[in-house]
């Protein structure tokens, strides 16, 4: 049974979402203060965190910054309806997905399951023989069994979604990968109009990897269509 941490200062909403998620087979713990998240994570292991932006003591963004350093637990952020700035900032700070409030509990459940599936299941192309422990892509080394990415000798800290996107691009080096493919295979949903989440995840991966050894951009944007990892 998967365990969810629900972080929101709206106690009534938490109770409603907790009851719904429990009926869907999840174990749910709740905290209503951003400052209480760290203590909860030190005492419990969670499969996913549902994190509100507006919280007492520490905002959702502050919590997310701490999580990006200490934990790799996937995060789904709840943002104010129509507040694009919050959504973009959340993605830049490492959130795996976002959902606007008020949210439909069924959509929240679907998003949670999609993220957990992506974290738990390796793509078929990464199911290696036990003797093979790593894969090399020029100066990038990937250890699929641990979902680790190294640039030279330094590990690149990627969120679950960033990892999935990078691996999809690396498995198709030199070829175009459409935005539709990225959305369906890495976000677990059909591409929605005006959805900038893919662009933000790509931007984050670019920043973390930096330029290639020949000082060129690693990931090329094919305007209006998708992205291409440039062969080195």
Digits of tens for pLDDT over the chain (232 positions)?
899 999 999 999 999 999 999 999 999 999 999 999 988 988 888 999 999 999 999 999 999 888 876 667 889 998 875 567 777 778 778 788 888 888 889 999 999 998 888 777 644 444 433 334 678 888 899 888 778 899 988 999 988 889 999 999 998 888 999 999 999 888 888 888 777 888 889 999 999 999 988 888 999 999 889 999 987 6
Q: Count the neighbouring beta carbons within 10 Å of the beta carbon of residue 175.
A: 11
From 120, 140, 160, give the residue that closes a domain. Answer: 120
For residues 33 and 89, state if they share a domain. Answer: yes
DSSP string, 163-210: HHHHHHHHTTTTSEEEHHHHIIIIISSPPPTT--HHHHHHHHHHHHH-
Same domain, 222 and 189: yes
State the Cα–Cα distance between residues 25 and 227, nearest whole angstrom: 37
The helix/strand count (H/E) of the chain reads as 8, 12
pLDDT at 50: 96
Say if CB 219 and CB 202 are below 8 A apart: yes
Q: 31 Cβ partners below 8 Å, 6+ apart?
A: 5, 6, 7, 37, 40
154 and 76 housed in the same domain: no
Q: What is the pLDDT of residue 42?
A: 85
Residues 83 and 177 in one domain: no
Residues 99 and 139 in one domain: no
Q: Which of 85, 120, 155 is the last residue of a domain?
A: 120
| Model pLDDT, residue 46 | 93
At residue 17, the pLDDT reads 93
**At a CB cut-off of 8 Å and minimum separation 6, what does 155 contact?**
148, 149
Question: What pLDDT score does 81 carry?
Answer: 59
**Residue 116's domain spans which residues?**
3-120
Per-residue confidence (pLDDT) for residue 216, from 0 to 100:
87
Beta-bridge partner residues of 4: 28, 48
Residues 218, 144: one domain? yes
Are 32 and 14 spatial neighbours (Cβ–Cβ below 8 Å)? yes
């Amino acid at each position: 049974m998967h365990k969810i941490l629900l972080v929101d200062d709206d106690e009534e909403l938490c109770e409603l979402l907790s009851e719904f998620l429990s009926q869907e087979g999840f174990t749910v713990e709740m905290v209503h203060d951003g400052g209480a998240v760290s203590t909860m994570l030190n005492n419990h292991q969670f499969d996913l965190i549902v994190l509100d932006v507006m919280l007492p003591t520490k905002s959702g963004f502050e919590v997310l910054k701490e999580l990006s350093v200490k934990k790799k637990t996937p995060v789904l952020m709840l943002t104010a309806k129509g507040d694009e700035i919050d959504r973009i900032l959340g993605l830049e700070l490492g959130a795996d997905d976002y959902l606007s409030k008020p949210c439909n509990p069924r959509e929240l459940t679907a998003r949670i399951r999609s993220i957990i599936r992506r974290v738990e299941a390796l793509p078929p192309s990464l199911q290696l023989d036990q003797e093979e422990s790593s894969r090399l892509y020029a100066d990038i080394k990937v250890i699929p069994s641990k979902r680790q990415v190294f640039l030279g000798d330094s590990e690149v800290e990627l969120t679950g979604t960033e990892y999935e996107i990078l691996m999809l691009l690396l498995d198709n080096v030199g070829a175009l990968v459409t935005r539709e493919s990225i959305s369906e295979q890495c976000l677990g949903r059909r591409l929605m109009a005006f959805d900038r989440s893919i662009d933000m995840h790509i931007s984050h991966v670019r920043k973390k990897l930096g330029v290639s050894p020949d000082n060129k951009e690693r990931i090329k944007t094919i305007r209006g269509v998708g992205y291409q990892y440039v062969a080195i």
